[in-house]
Amino acid sequence: MTKLIEKDSQIIVHITMKLADGSAADSTKVHNKPAKIIMGDASISPAFEAQLLGMSAGESKEFTLEAKDAFGEVNPDNIHYVDANKFSAEAPAQVGSIITFTQPGGVELPGMIKEVSDLSVTVDFNHPLAGQAVTFVIDVVDVL
């Protein structure tokens, strides 16, 4: 009997993400490393989970989620201004670079450098796909 994805399933899936212009943003297929998702653990949005319910191993599905249901809207509180002297030749501040900052408690948080001036560096800690509708292609590898 085929196992269907339910609210408490653990699943193995390949996920490909595409932007509105059709360009691929990311895919687990690039390195052939499918993702494990534990349904109901709040690691993915309820809207994303709803799209997976009822699927089974071997099935594929394509769907688009608006920004709020994909990676969220851009949050202005996640944009920070860092003193330019905090950067060095080993870790230069260059627009477009992603720098990992260690937070209290040892948690690492990646941020993208958006702007560099003589005195400060603007770092955006929003997810790179925040604020965008994303089309997902899901290939269910297994339902555990």
Say whether pLDDT at 143 is over 90: yes
**Phi and psi for 134 in degrees, rounded to 5?**
-130, 135
Say whether pLDDT at 92 is over 90: no
What is the extent of the structural domain holding 119? 76-124
Q: Burial level of 138, CB count in 10 A (0-12/13-18/19+)?
A: buried
34: which DSSP letter? Answer: P
Q: Burial level of 95, CB count in 10 A (0-12/13-18/19+)?
A: exposed
Which CATH number belongs to the domain containing residue 24 in this structure? 3.10.50.40
33-78 pLDDT, tens per residue? Answer: 999 999 999 999 999 999 999 999 999 999 999 999 999 999 999 9
Is there a single domain that holds both residue 105 and residue 84?
A: yes
Query: Is 4 part of any domain?
Result: no
Is there a single domain that holds both residue 116 and residue 100?
A: yes
Say whether pLDDT at 8 is over 80: yes
Q: Per-residue confidence at 14, pLDDT binned at 50, 70, 90?
A: very high
Q: Per-residue confidence at 12, pLDDT binned at 50, 70, 90?
A: very high
pLDDT, mean over the chain: 94
Greatest alpha-carbon pair distance for the chain in Å reads 65
84 — alpha (psi -120 to 50), left (phi > 0) or beta?
alpha
